[in-house]
Amino acid sequence: MFEFLKSRNNNTSIDTLPVTTDIHSHILPGIDDGSPDIETSLQLVQGIYDLGIRKTVATPHVICDLYRNTPAIINDALQKLAAACITAKINISITAAAEYMLDDYFLQLLKSPAPLLAIHKNLILTEQSFASATDNLHHIAFEMVTLGYRPIMAHPERYHFYHSNYEAYSRLKDMGFLLQINLLSLTGYYGKPVAKAAKYMVANNLADLVGTDMHHFRHLEALKDKKSLHIFDDLLGKKNWNDLDAL
Ligand SMILES: [Fe+2]
């Protein structure tokens, strides 16, 4: 009987992601390296809706030399996409924040009186360069926490400079960062060392949040893949992820 239950479970079709809220994506049209236009944005939104997402926070890059997205630019793109979703009858809640690169420009923003764009309440999504670790990370985290923000480190598993030292993930948490892993990291989409690091964080309760970090159709197709959905269910299915009020 137990064997029967086991095999039935293995054959169960899983059609949705293990979350209904996404907190990291590049679905706003034309303002970063994500969706280039409103038609693409709509198809990406329809895709994650079909995977069970009912609330999504778009997080366009804010990077000194590449994407100096202001709140006005981001809000304008958000309004366009939200209106297009209503017209297309996609019943999803879309808000916007940003994914802030921890560069000198971010330090300027931190010092300016204008508030940073939050995922939810005081939660701020940040990222580092993939090339090298941020020198003054302790200082930046301290400044953010002092100002009342709660920083989230986007995809810590993707930074190769942590792969030889998993203790670094605990140090990030000591600094005040919540850790957000990319769903596709668990599937090997970004390579084996990234998958290993992501699984380590999930297994050791270091991961606080998950996100799609969806930029384009290749990401959507990889998320929809049946093998991916089973991996997400196996590794993440037992916890209520992305309950922002509970953080
Ligand atoms: Fe991102």
Split at pLDDT 50, 70, 90, the class of 12 is confident
| Residue 119 pLDDT class (50, 70, 90 cuts) | very high
- Tell me what pLDDT residue 13 has: 85
Class of domain 18-236: alpha beta
- pLDDT category at 26 given cuts 50, 70, 90 is very high
Q: What is the pLDDT of residue 237?
A: 84
Contact residues for 130 (Cβ-Cβ < 8 A; gap 6+):
158, 159, 160
How far apart CA 133 and CA 41 sit, in angstroms, is 32
How many Å lie between the centroid of ligand 1 and the Cα of residue 111? 23
Poorest-pLDDT segment among 11-15, 124-128, 130-134: 11-15
Mean pLDDT value across residues 118-123: 98
The contacts found for 146-149 with CB under 8 angstroms, 24 or more apart, are: 147/110, 148/122, 149/116, 149/118, 149/122, 149/123, 149/124
Average pLDDT over residues 63-83: 96
The pTM is what?
0.94
Distance 10 CA to ligand 1 centre (A): 32
113 CA to middle of ligand 1, Å? 25
Determine the distance separating the centroid of ligand 1 and the alpha carbon of 8, expressed in angstroms: 37
Could you read off the pLDDT of 223-234 as tens digits, one per residue? Answer: 999 999 999 999
**What mean pLDDT is reported for the chain?**
94
CA dihedral 31, 218, 183, 8 (to 10 degrees): 150
Ligand 1 centre distance from Cα of residue 183 (Å): 12
Identify residues whose C-beta is under 5 A from ligand 1, the ion.
99, 213
Predicted pLDDT at 6: 41
Is residue 78 scored above 70 in pLDDT?
A: yes
Condensed to tens digits (0 to 9), the pLDDT of residues 27-72 reads 999 999 999 999 999 999 999 999 999 999 999 999 998 999 999 9
Rounded to the nearest angstrom, the distance between the alpha carbon of 233 and the centre of ligand 1 is: 22
Ligand 1 center from residue 25 Cα (angstroms): 6
Rounded to the nearest angstrom, the distance between the alpha carbon of 58 and the centre of ligand 1 is 9
The whole-angstrom separation of Cα 98 and Cα 67 is: 11
> Is 5 a residue whose pLDDT tops 80?
no
